[in-house]
Structure 1
Amino acid sequence: MTGLAALRAALAVETLKLRRSVVARLATGLLLVLVPLGSVGMVALARSPQAVGPAAAKLADYATGDLAATHLAVCAQVLSVAVLAAGGFCVAWSFGRELETGTAGALSGLAVSRGVIALAKCLVALAWIAGCVLLTVGLTLAASAVVSATQGTALAGAWAGARTALVAGLLGGGLALPFAWVATVTRSQLGTVGALVGMVALTQIVVLLGGGTWFPYAAPSLWAGMGGAEAASAVGLPHLFLAAAVGPLAVAAVVLAWRRLTDV
C-alpha cells in the first residue's frame, strides 16, 4: 500500500469513528448551540434594565456599541476558549481510548503504520474543529441578523467581528492538538482532561502575571478582546504566529510518539 493510499484509508476510518463518537456529537452540539445563544444572550443582558450590580460591571463592555459587531466580538471571545475545551475532549477520546483500553495493539497488524494513523487522527480532528468554528460563527451571524432586524440596526459591523471569531476559533482549535500527545504519553483519557483543566488554570495565572501576550494559550483570547481593549492591542502578529505554530508542532510530536509506541 502506497503512503497516499494508506493515509486515505486511515482518514476514512477515523472519520467514521468521529461520526459515531458520542463525545464528538456532544461537543459539536454544545458549540453550535451554546456559543451563538451565549453571544446574543450576554449582549441582550448587558443592554437590559436587569443588568445591575456585579452582572452589569462584568458585562459593561457589551452595553454599548454596534449591536451586531458586539455579538460577534463576544462570539470570538467565547469561541476561543470553548473550541479549545471541545477539541481537547475530542482528542483525549480519539487518542486515549484505544491506548487506555488496550485495543491499540491490533493496529500493529494493519498495513497502515501507526504514524499514518496518528496523522489521520490529527487531520480529522482539525477538519472537525474547523467545521465547528465555521458553523458556530455562521449561526451567530444568523442569530445576530435576526436580532438586528427586529431592532432596525444594520449588520455591516459584524463582518470584521466574524473574521476575528474565525481566526480566534481556529487558533484555539489548534491549541487542542498538544493534548493528543498528552493522551499518547499518559494513555489515559481522564489524565488528558486533567491536563487540559490544568492548562486553563495555568493560562489564567500567566495572564494575571502579565505574560499572556507571549503565552500561546492566552494570546488568541486576549486578541479577541477577553482582557479588554488595551490587552487586545498588545497582541500582534508575532504572538498569533506563535500560537498558530503550536498545532503543527503538536502533530509532528504525536506522529513521532505513535511511531515509537511499544507494548500497545
Structure 2
Amino acid sequence: MTAVANLGAAFSVEALKLRRSVVARVATLLLVLLVPLGSVGVVALARSPRAVGATAAKLADYATGDLATTHLLACAQILSVAALVAGGFFLAWSFGRELESGTAGALFGLAVPRGTIALAKCLVALAWIAVCVVVAVAVTVTASAVVTAGSGASFVGAWAGARTALVAGLLGGGLALPFAWLATVTRSQLGTVGGLVGMVALTQIVVLLGGGSWFPYAAPSLWTGMGGAAAAAAVGLPHLLLAAAVAPVALAAVVQTWRRLTDV
C-alpha cells in the first residue's frame, strides 16, 4: 500500500471509532447545542432585571451594545475554551484508551505504520472539532437571528463576530493536540485529563501575572475579549500565530513518538 492509501485506510478506521465514541457524542452535543444556548442565554441574563449585584458586574460586558454582535462575542469567548476542553477529552480517550488497555499492540500488527495511525487519529480529531465549531457558530447565528427578529438589529457586526468565533474555536481545537502526545507518553486517560485541567489552571495564573498575550493557551481567549478590552487590544497577529503553531508542532511530536513505540 502507498502512504496515501495507508493514511486513507487509517483515517476511515479512526473516523468509525469517532462515530461510535460516547465521549465524542457527548462532546459534540455540548459544543453544538450548549455553546449557542450559553451564548444567547448569558446575554439575555445580562440584560434582564435579574442581573443585579455581583451578577450584573460579571456580565457587564454583555449588557450593552448590538444584540446580535454581543451574542457572537459570547460565542467566541465560550468556544475558545470549549473547543480546547472537548478536544482534550476526546484525544485523551482516542490515544489513552488503547495504550492504557494494551489493545494498541493489535494495531501495530497491521500493515499501516504506527506513525500513520497516529497521524490519522489527530486528523480525525481536528476535522471533528472543526465541524463542531462551524456548526456551533452557525447555530448561534441562527438563534441570534430568531431572538433579534423584528427588533431592527443589524447583523453587520455579528458577521465579524462569527469570524472571530470560528478562528477562536479552531485555535482552541488545535491547542488540544499536545494532549494526544501526553496521552501517548503517560498511557493514561485520567492522567491526560489531569494535564488538561492543570493547563487550564496554569493559563489563569499566567494571565494574572500579565503574560497571557504570549502564552498560546491564553491568547485566543484574550483576543475574543474575555479579559477585557485592554487585554484584547494587546493580542495581535504574532500572538495568534504562536498559538496556531502549537498544532503542527504537537502533530509532529505525536507521530514521532508513535513511530518509536515498541513496548505496548
Q: TM-score, normalised by structure 2?
A: 0.99
- Report SS of the residue matched to 2:216: coil
Is this contact kept in 2: 1:175–1:247, CA < 8 A? Answer: yes
Q: Deviations over 1:184-229 (max 9, x none)?
A: 0000000000000000000000000000000000000000100011
Counterpart of 1:41, as a letter, is G
Partner residue, 1:200: 200
Deviating beyond 3 angstroms after TM superposition, the runs of 4 or more aligned structure 1 residues are none
SS at structure 1 position matched to 2:108: helix
Q: Structure 1 residue 12: deviation in Å?
A: 0.4
Unaligned runs of 5+ in 2: none
Q: Which amino acid aligns with 1:95?
A: F
CA shift for structure 1 position 157:
1.9
Match of 1:35 in 2: 35
**Aligned positions, number:** 264
CA contact (8 A) 1:148 1:154 kept: no
Report the residue type matching 1:244 in the other structure. A
Equivalent residue letter for 1:93: W
Distance 1:233 1:10 in 2: 43
| 1:95 and 2:98 are equivalent in the alignment | no
Q: Spell out the pairing of 1:21-32 with structure 2 (5 A cutoff).
A: 21-32=21-32
Spell out the pairing of 1:100-111 with structure 2 (5 A cutoff): 100-111=100-111
5 Å-filtered alignment, 1:1-264, equals 1-264=1-264
Shift of 1:107: 1.6
Compute the displacement of 1:108 (Å): 2.0
Give the AA of the match of 1:103.
T
Distance (Å, rounded) in 2 between the aligned partners of 1:130 and 1:103 = 28
Tell me the CA shift for residue 151 of structure 1: 3.1
C-alpha distance in 2 between matches for 1:45 and 1:228:
19
Distance 1:108 1:125 in 2: 20
Aligned-pair CA distance for 1:109: 1.2
Matches of 1:132 and 1:72, distance apart in 2: 16
Contact 1:88 / 1:177 at 8 angstroms: preserved in 2?
A: yes
Bigger mean CA deviation after superposition, 172-181 or 151-160: 151-160
| Identity percentage of aligned residues | 80
Rounded to whole Å, the distance in 1 between the matches of 2:245 and 2:190 is 26
CA distance in 1, matches of 2:189, 2:175: 17
Amino acid at match of 1:114: R
Equivalent AA in structure 2 for residue 71 of structure 1: H
The amino acid across from 1:9 in the alignment is: A
1:52-75 Cα distance to aligned partner (Å, 9 max, x none): 010000000111001000000000
**TM-score, normalised by the number of residues in structure 1:** 0.99
* Residues in 1 aligned to 2:150 and 2:99: alpha-carbon distance in whole angstroms: 52
Q: CA deviation at 1:155?
A: 2.2
Residue 8 of structure 1 deviates from its aligned partner by 0.5
Q: Relative to structure 2, which stretch is displaced further, 154-163 or 252-261?
A: 154-163
On the 8 A contact 1:148/1:155 being kept in 2, the answer is no
Kindly report the root-mean-square deviation, in angstroms, between the aligned alpha carbons of the 2 structures: 0.7
Return the alpha-carbon distance in structure 2 between the equivalents of residues 223 and 154 of structure 1.
Answer: 23
Q: Which amino acid aligns with 2:145?
A: A
Cα deviation, residue 150, structure 1: 4.5
SS of residue paired to 1:157: helix
Tell me how far 1:30 sits from its aligned partner. 0.7
